[in-house]
Amino acid sequence: MNKFADVAKKSVMNIKPYVPGKPIEEVQREHGIKDVIKLASNENPLGPSKLAVKAMEKKLRSVNLYPESGAYYLRRALAKHLKIRESMLVFGNGSNELLNLIAEAFVEPGDEVMFSALSFVVYPIAADTVGGIAIQIPHKDFRHDIDGFIKRLSHKTKLVYLCNPNNPTGTIITKEEFEKFMSAVGLKTIVALDEAYFEYVQDKNYPDGIKYLAKYPNLVVLRTFSKIYGLAGIRIGYAAADPDIIEIIERVRPPFNANMIAQAAGEAALRDREHLKNTVKTNNEGKKYLCSEFKKLGMEFVRSHANFIFVKFKANSKVVFEALLKKGVIIRPQFDSFARITIGTMEENKKLAKALKAVL
Ligand SMILES: Cc1ncc(COP(=O)(O)O)c(C=O)c1O
């Protein structure tokens, strides 16, 4: 029992703390093995873009200075890239920070915050932090149940998080479903569309949130440099929305939250189309290979549009997780028998398949 539990905000004591993927170094220490791969946090297995690394190195000698709080160069480059106005962007210490800042800016204690019950674990944390009431909509075949969301909308719904593609299942909300939801939701409800894995999706029924910003002023699209751009460790993400929404988020944004090195990395990574193309190719090949290996092993899995696959074991997933650790493979166990596995390089995927064969 925490001796300050009765001093803390009640809503904060409700929070189930975020459990990150197990770090490689920890497994090396605990199991005494050198050769460890991590397929647990949906990172880019090819590493960061070389252009981004160069840009970061160049900035290292200037870190005695504060960064530009408005991220001038990154903002200009990204606005051009997305074909939106510069005033429609706000940057975060990862998109995770922006998920929190949106709740902080819009949700009063007692307001409802809606999201899928099988989605990114940060949404309930963001809701609880500000005293919002979390409304969790059960999933339908591992997908967002958009009709279920619509049925539950009311004047109390202040914020809705939609995760597309969804973490951890990798499923998508289609254009038709998204448009149906946006037509049903009132302008007094903020819709935060989390597109952390946007660049991986290749389905023509997938809606590009940025293209809807002009039509829906209550829409906030969140994206990140952590996933396909391979910059998870430097922490940079962004939200795009109507300038009036951005102006409100800016009020609660801590000064200098997007650091100088991250701004330079993001700007350079945007230019590295080759790195992006290689990553998509590696991911597509890896996904095909892993799905076929999972089938051979008799494992069930959900068809993924992202860089990870949601699988079901016939055994307890924690037991499988522990056994895989001993073989130098880190995955992310979920609930009783599920796990989320990040698609790696072909070499990593083969190591995983071999370890799974031995363990299962
Ligand atoms: C769906 C989703 N949104 C947001 C994030 C946060 O990413 P970051 O804060 O690194 O931008 C993640 C990271 O795992 C994610 O899976």
Tens of pLDDT, residue by residue over 147-199, are 999 999 999 999 999 999 999 999 999 999 999 999 999 999 999 999 999 99
Annotate 157-188 with b (16+ C-beta within 10 A) or e (fewer): bbbbbbbbbbbbbbbbbbbebbbbbbeebeee
pLDDT higher than threshold 90 for residue 142: yes
Q: Are 349 and 286 in contact (CB under 8 A)?
A: yes
- CA–centroid distance, residue 120 to ligand 1 (Å): 8
Collect all residues with Cβ–Cβ distance below 8 Å to 11 and sequence separation of at least 6.
109, 128, 129, 130, 131, 132
Torsion angles phi and psi, residue 147, rounded to 5: -65, -40
Nearest atom of ligand 1 to the alpha carbon of 225: 11
In this model, does residue 90 exceed pLDDT 90? yes
* CB neighbour class for 25 (10 Å; exposed up to 12, middle 13-18, buried from 19): exposed
Q: Please give the distance, rounded to the nearest whole angstrom, from the Cα atom of residue 214 to the centre of ligand 1.
A: 25
- Radius of gyration over alpha carbons of the chain, in Å? 20
**Buried (b) or exposed (e) across 238-265, using 16+ Cβ within 10 A?**
bbbbbeebbebbeeebeeebbbbbbbbb
Residues with CB under 6 A from ligand 1: 42, 94-96, 120, 163, 167, 194, 196, 224, 226, 232, 237
Please give the Cα distance from 2 to 10 (Å, whole number): 13
22-46 mean pLDDT: 95
State pLDDT tens for residues 265-278.
Answer: 999 999 999 999 99
Q: What is the pLDDT of residue 122?
A: 97
For residue 49, is pLDDT > 90? yes
Average pLDDT over residues 126-154: 97
- Give the pairing type, strands 89-92 and 300-301: unpaired
- Least confident span in 153-157, 203-207, 290-294, 334-338: 334-338
Q: Is the pLDDT of residue 57 over 90?
A: yes
Is pLDDT above 90 for 19? no
Q: Give the whole-angstrom CA distance, residue 233 versus residue 216.
A: 33
Centroid of ligand 1 to alpha carbon of 43 (angstroms): 10
Strand order in the sheet with 219-224: 89-92, 237-241, 219-224, 190-194, 157-163, 112-116, 133-137
Cα(245)–Cα(249) distance, rounded to whole angstroms? 6
pLDDT digits (tens, 9 = 90+) for 291-332: 999 999 999 999 999 999 999 999 999 999 999 999 999 999
Residue of 14 and 127 predicted with greater confidence: 127
d(C-alpha 207, C-alpha 80), whole Å? 20
Q: How far is the CA of 289 from the centre of ligand 1 (A)?
A: 25
Residue that has been written with the tokens 């799905």 in this structure: 291
- Ligand 1 site-directed mutation target among 39, 90, 96, most atoms within 8 Å of CB: 96
Burial grade of 30 (CB within 10 A; 0-12, 13-18, 19 or more): exposed
pLDDT over 90 percentage in the chain: 97
Closest residue by Cα to residue 68 from 82, 86, 81: 86
Query: Residue 15 — pLDDT band, cuts 50, 70, 90?
Result: very high
- Can you read off the two tokens belonging to residue 103? 């709740």
Best residue among 162, 226, 305 to mutate for probing ligand 1's pocket (most ligand atoms within 8 Å of CB) is: 226
pLDDT interval class at 21 (50, 70, 90): confident
**352 has a pLDDT exceeding 90:** yes
Domains and CATH numbers, the chain: 19-47+274-359 (3.90.1150.10), 50-271 (3.40.640.10)
Contact 332, 193 (CB under 8 A): no
Mean pLDDT of the region 249-254: 98
Closest CA to 41 of 335, 333, 332, 350: 332
Torsion over CA of 124, 130, 135 and 139, rounded to 10 degrees?
A: -20
Residues 306, 42: contact at Cβ < 8 Å? yes
- Model pLDDT, residue 100: 98
Would you state the pLDDT for residue 201?
Answer: 98
pLDDT at 359 over 90: yes
> Rounded distance, CA 236 to CA 212, Å?
23
The burial class, CB within 10 Å (0-12 / 13-18 / 19+), for 64 is exposed
Q: How far, in Å, is the centroid of ligand 1 from the Cα of 37?
A: 20
